[in-house]
Amino acid sequence: MTLLHWAIVSPFLFAILIPFLYKAFRNVHTGWFVLLLPVALFAYFFQFISMTKSGDTIKETLEWMPSFGINFIAYVDGLGLLFALLITGIGSLVVLYSIYYLDKKKEQLHNFYVYLMMFMGAMLGVVLSDNLIVLYMFWEFTSISSFLLIGYWYHRERSRYGAQKSMLITVFGGLSMLGGFILLYLMSGTFSIRELVMQSDQLMTDALFLPALLLVLIGAFTKSAQFPFHIWLPDAMEAPTPVSAYLHSATMVKAGIYLVARLSPVFADSGVWLWLVGGFGIFTLFWGSFNAVKQTDLKGILAFSTVSQLGLIMSLLGVGAAALHYTQLDDNIYMVATLAAVFHLINHATFKGSLFMVVGIIDHETGTRDIRKLGGLMNFMPITFTIAMIGAFSMAGLPPFNGFLSKEMFFTGMVRVLEMDIFNLDTVGMIFPVLAWVGSVFTFIYSMIIVFKPFTGKHQPEKLDKKPHEAPLGMLISPIILASLVIIFGFFPNILSERIIAPAVAAITPSLIEEGHAVEAHISFWHGPTPELFMTFGVILFGILLFLLLPKWRKVYTWIPERFTLNSFYDGGLIGSERGAYSFTKGYMTGFIRTYLVYIFSFFIAVLLFSLWFKGAFAINTEELAPIGIYEVAIALLLVISSVTILFAKSRLTSIISLGAAGYTVSLFFVLFRAPDLALTQLVIETVSVALFLLCFYHLPPLSRHEERMSFKLGNALISIGVGAVVTLFAISAYSTKLFDSISSYYIENVYEEAGGKNMVNVILVDFRGFDTLFEICVLAIAALGIFSMIKLRLTRGKEG
Amino acid sequence: MEIVMAIVVGILITVAVYLMLSKSLLRIIIGTALLSHGAHLLLLSISGLKGGAAPLLGEHAKSYVDPLPQALILTAIVISFGVTAFFLVLAYRAYQELGTDNMDQMRGNEGND
């Protein structure tokens, strides 16, 4: 294990220590100890920047299951490093924030930080693994730890509901992703992403390519809350706010983005990939921002806003894939989309993290997150208001914040879709800029709602549980740092571009960087009077107009009735499948033994008849048959008559005696077919059996003693005739196709020489095949012991002794 | 002769299955007993019913019937007897404890439903 491996698993190891620290130092908030680790990790990963800037990568292998090709390969390149820095950096800030947010006396801090560290380690594992199976393992760790964190306040029903929902959806996606990975392995013979990228040309032509692509995309879409899998994210807002800020805005929901970006070199040559990633992304952008305006809960707005921004990044990655088809790098204007995706990824993490923290502060200081109850907080919380304003204006895409820059680049990327002439983009591609623009208008509206509804307007102290006041300084540190980053990245975007963005873009589109070219990642503040700028003006203009007229057109949201929402489909589907499974099981598990026998016999008939017919196995060969004798026929008639009598017997005594008659007839058969030992045994045993039957008959309960004929049931008759016919057909067919002679000549020749006996059957029973006899004796012994204990042991009815 | 035996066995099994599908416990056990008769006869006849002496070397015959299926049937008879005896006593105890032999009434108790 190298230092890099230790760094990835260190959060897991540290999580073991947390409960001990919690118990040992009750007076110190456990978060202070936890804070050390992400800060140290951030510093550790920070030193890789100079390495990735020059285009180098690190690859360290730790053997895990080498015979299966599954090894823990830690791989650091621009993309992995960008995510690692986000995870550890925002992780540090979130831990710091949570120290002030969570009360050390009231909350179960050891649980919280154990889950949080588990999550951080899992996330680092996802972004720094080169092996797909290891990536999948860490991926499911993020699902599990996210489940635990959402259900942190497990006594609330909404928390449990949200946790279950997110678990079901993300694990569904995770499993289908695993299927995609296995298909990739079947095609290429490797689990390593590096080697997959090298083979991407051959993979394209494989029949399994498209299924693998779809399955992997389902995994990425569920994790990153893309339409229609976004429904778990708003319900995950029941988690404590630091968790929402960390998992559900900055890191976990970007795991899907990471996966799409990471596997772009493998899949992106395909038009299906471009359309799915781009199309679902752009529609998610629109749908998320459209629904965010409807929400009244601040965290609900932020949840849908996250959905929408993730859709934005996803659509940029999809459109960026088109860059692969225009290979001359020097004037590759399509690269701008990938560039914008990476830049917006960073920007979103900064402003969304700070906004969640702001909402947490409002919740913490006023006791509610409902915008209908909040208002006029500006005077009480000036610092919080400033942070909220910076974050929300950046989200809306206003200058001079970083959101403005990435939104301009976003529009650039979307407008350039129109110039592409591949995969029908020149015709249907029109939806990209249109939806992008409409989504941005809604983004502007809900950003304004976040700023102006709680902080301006009339203060309503009677609706609040607490008297609002400014948050403690410790709680403000993290959002202040994030808000400062928003401004710094806004004014000086190029401190990022050379060091972080360019290597990340190089990792997403490696085939374009072959000839030692560097990625042109210069982000300029002013492009001149371009169409993008006018689009932004239009967004602001229409945004302001619609925000002011919001009460007038709110009715739009009632157009879609509650029944047709995705949530009600999910709930209905869950309840429906539970009910369906219940009634299905209830339907065929009747509890009557007769029903199950019907299933078994029907299956027997169907399968055997089908295979007999399908294989054409039925044959009649009359050459080998023994001649029909008069005695045999007479006895056969006797046997048939006695057994059929059982069916028509009115009293049970008759049926028992008929059974005895059948048994004695069978022993007569044994006599005729020259089997003296069998005849002897059959006679004795039939006698004992009939005696036993009579015993049972005698002890029939007097009340239900009904001497009546069996009522005729057609279904039963058909099934039993079927079984009998199948057995007859098989017997005739088997006899007619004898493949080789019996081995019995050996027994006949050697029974005296080798074993010293003249009765062949007995010598076979005790000498040649004595083992059978041993265990047959065991069977009898067990039956006898069982009968004895059944009669003697009476534990169930204590009162009878 | 083997075809005749196959048909007889088919009839035995038909009757046995019909009895096993009935409601009375005693009839079900009678059905299993008939089923084992059918199986034994099938074993005997499928190996061939050609003439030959009984499998005793003292007969000094030219050919004997096949001794191996007879040994198998003997084992099967004893085992099916053991199982039938056990079932019968089980049914007898069930009569005693539950007071019924109707399979439709033996469906576990309410708590297990």
What interface predicted TM-score (ipTM) does this complex get? 0.93
Q: Choose the weakest-confidence range: A131-145, A216-230, A497-511, A777-791.
A: A497-511
Q: Suggest the residue from A671, A698, A738, A760 to mutate for an interface test with chain B (most B CBs closer than 10 A).
A: A760
Give A616's DSSP letter: T
Residue B83 CB neighbours (<10 A):
17
Checking if the pLDDT of A703 tops 70, the result is no
**For chain B, what is the radius of gyration of the CA atoms?**
19
Distance CA A489, CA A35 (A): 25
Contact A306, A352 (CB under 8 A): yes
Model confidence band, residue A227 (pLDDT cutoffs 50, 70, 90): confident
Distance CA A195, CA A131 (A): 10
- Residue numbers in B near A624 (CB within 8 A): 48, 50
Instruction: Determine the pLDDT at residue B42.
Output: 93
- Residue numbers in A near B85 (CB within 8 A): 688-689, 692, 783, 787
Residue of A nearest to B57 (CA): A758
Q: Choose the weakest-confidence range: A563-572, A713-722, A779-788.
A: A563-572
Section A543-555 average pLDDT: 83
Instruction: Determine the pLDDT at residue B111.
Output: 47
Q: A71 φ, ψ to 5°?
A: -130, 150
Instruction: Determine the pLDDT at residue A512.
Output: 65
Distance CA A191, CA A113 (A): 33
Q: Which two tokens stand for residue A585?
A: 């099981």
Contact B23, B39 (CB under 8 A): no
Of A306, A143, A146, A307, whose CA–CA distance to A228 is shortest?
Answer: A307
**Ranges A136-145, A332-341, A365-374, A561-570, most confident:** A136-145
DSSP string, A444-502: HHHHHHHHHHHHSS---GGG-SS---PPPHHHHHHHHHHHHHHHHHHH-THHHIIIIIH
- Residue numbers in B near A753 (CB within 8 A): none
Residue that the structure tokens 């509610």 belong to? A368
Residue A574 CB neighbours (<10 A):
13
Contact B58, A757 (CB under 8 A): no
Instruction: Give the one of A663, A673, A696 whose C-beta lies nearest to B49's C-beta.
Output: A673
Q: What is the pTM of this model?
A: 0.84
The mean pLDDT of chain A is 86
Give the CA angle between residues A520, A314, A326 to the nearest 5°.
45
The partner residues of A131 in beta bridges, in order of sequence, read A192
Distance CA A746, CA A122 (A): 69
Shortest alpha-carbon distance between residue A160 and chain B (Å): 29
Checking if the pLDDT of A610 tops 90, the result is yes
pLDDT tens per residue across span A157-204: 999 999 999 999 999 999 999 999 999 999 888 899 888 888 887 888
3-class SS at A334? coil
User: CB–CB of A700 and B91 under 8 A?
Assistant: no
First-residue to last-residue Cα distance in chain B: 52
Section A503-521 average pLDDT: 68
Q: Choose the weakest-confidence range: A70-84, A400-414, A515-529.
A: A515-529
- Which ranges constitute the DSSP H helices of A268-297? 271-292
Checking if the pLDDT of B91 tops 60, the result is yes
Which residue type is seen at A53? Answer: K
Contacts of A639 (CB under 8 A, 6+ apart): A662, A665, A666, A669, B8, B12
